[in-house]
Amino acid sequence: MKDALFLCGVGNGEGIRLALTVNRTSPRWQRIVLLDDDPSKHGTTRLGLEVAGPISHLAGVDANCSEVVNLVTRTTDGRARAQEKIGQYGIPFTSLIHPGVDLFGAEVASDVTIYPHASVGAEARIGPASVLLIGAVAGHGARIGRGCVVAPNAVINARVTLGDRAYVGSNASILPDLRIGAGATIGANCMVYTDVPEGATAMGVAAQVLSATPHHAPSGSMEAHGLQPDFPDDPSSSIAGAGSAHIEAVITKALVHVLGAGELDRSGNFFELGCNSLKALELAQHLRPLLGRDVQVVDIYRFPTAPALASFLTGGDPAALGMRQAQQRAEMRRQLRSRA
């Protein structure tokens, strides 16, 4: 039995409970110690355990008698930074796997965290420093890379490959045999039916793939991505006629409603004004009946200002937009048939 388990990142209460459950079922540590770099948490308690201090507390710990777990899961970028910081102290990382999870026939690295009700299929591989949260599923033969996070109730179907530091949001489903690139983010509630490139984000049902910005550093959360796909540097230069001006006013009014704000800069970037992934979805849904156009969430990301979006909606061919959506639906049906 080791002297101590150090849990780093006390904002994750479920992780603390998992450690207590594991140690209660099969005692491995004489004590469990909480560490966090937020000074306001020092001296407070979580599930009866006191937060002893910052992560630098590990500097005085005997590496031969202790183990450590990184509980940071909000983003894969944040998790990687925490992993690097913790690792510099030389305390060995260990796994936390709920005793009710069946791992027979699976290959799991030595520092993986798997929460209750997760399912790991036969011949699945879970890479180092990866996390399967409550109810997550890694199907038969799935390959999950290093530092990935699979959020609650997400389903990684058979033979799916997740690149390193990919993030899969809550309740998302990835169809069999697909490849999700390193640093990619799968939004919550998505159904993914095509490969997702490295560093990209997929969202929606069926999922649409959005390219990352040129300076994108994968972080595993939609808000943290700050996605702003390519759009004209001067969107107003392409706007012509009163029709576009009217649509621009409608878009701005809808944005004010969605954000619950007062007056907004009509030319401001939606995401700098307060939009996030959920607000973008709400904005698209709000605009459809107002404009009589099938505005998609991907359009909000592609044209993230009122002038740019108005220009797109007035200059674009409605038939072409309909064709684009029909092609996406046809491709989804083809993919589903091929995997039946």
Q: Which domains does the chain have, with CATH numbers?
A: 2-94 (3.40.50.20), 96-226 (2.160.10.10), 235-319 (1.10.1200.10)
Q: How far apart are CA 206 and CA 336, in angstroms?
A: 11
Under DSSP, is residue 158 helix (H, G, I), strand (E, B) or coil? coil
Q: Which residues pair with 260 in a beta bridge?
A: none
Contacts of range 334-339, beta carbons closer than 8 Å, 24 or more positions apart: 335/175, 335/193, 335/194, 336/175, 336/193, 339/175, 339/176, 339/177
Please, which residues have CB within 8 angstroms of residue 314's CB and are 6 or more apart in sequence? 239, 241, 243, 244, 247
pLDDT for 332: 53
Distances, alpha carbon 217 to alpha carbons 77, 144, 146, in Å: 8, 19, 16
Q: Which has the closest alpha carbon to 208: 225, 191, 231?
A: 191
User: Cα(first)–Cα(last) distance of the chain, in Å?
Assistant: 49
Q: Amino acid identity, residue 45?
A: T
Burial class (CB in 10 A: 0-12, 13-18, 19+), 148: buried
Q: With 70 as the cut, is the pLDDT of residue 338 above it? A: no
Q: Which has the closest alpha carbon to 229: 239, 215, 243?
A: 215
Reading the block at residue 47, the tokens are 């599930």
pLDDT for 311: 82
Q: How far apart are CA 183 and CA 189, in angstroms?
A: 19
Q: Is the peptide bond before 206 cis (omega within 30 degrees of 0)?
A: yes
pLDDT for 240: 34
Q: How far apart are CA 114 and CA 92, in angstroms?
A: 18
Burial class (CB in 10 A: 0-12, 13-18, 19+), 321: middle
pLDDT for 247: 85
Q: How far apart are CA 269 and CA 267, in angstroms?
A: 7
Q: With 60 as the cut, is the pLDDT of residue 239 above it? A: no
Antiparallel, parallel or unpaired: β 201-203 and 161-162 = unpaired
pLDDT 10s digits, 153-196 = 999 999 999 999 999 999 999 999 999 999 999 988 888 988 99
Q: What is the dihedral of CA 213, 217, 223, 229, to 10 degrees?
A: 0
Q: How far apart are CA 131 and CA 79, in angstroms?
A: 10
Antiparallel, parallel or unpaired: β 155-156 and 137-138 = parallel
- In which band, very low, low, confident or very high, does the pLDDT at 241 lie, cut at 50, 70 and 90? very low
pLDDT for 224: 37
pLDDT 10s digits, 85-127 = 999 999 999 999 999 999 999 999 989 999 999 999 999 999 9
Tell me, what DSSP letter sits at residue 269?
A: B
Q: How far apart are CA 90 and CA 98, in angstroms?
A: 25
pLDDT for 203: 82
Sheet with 137-138, edge to edge strand ranges: 119-120, 137-138, 155-156, 173-174, 191-192
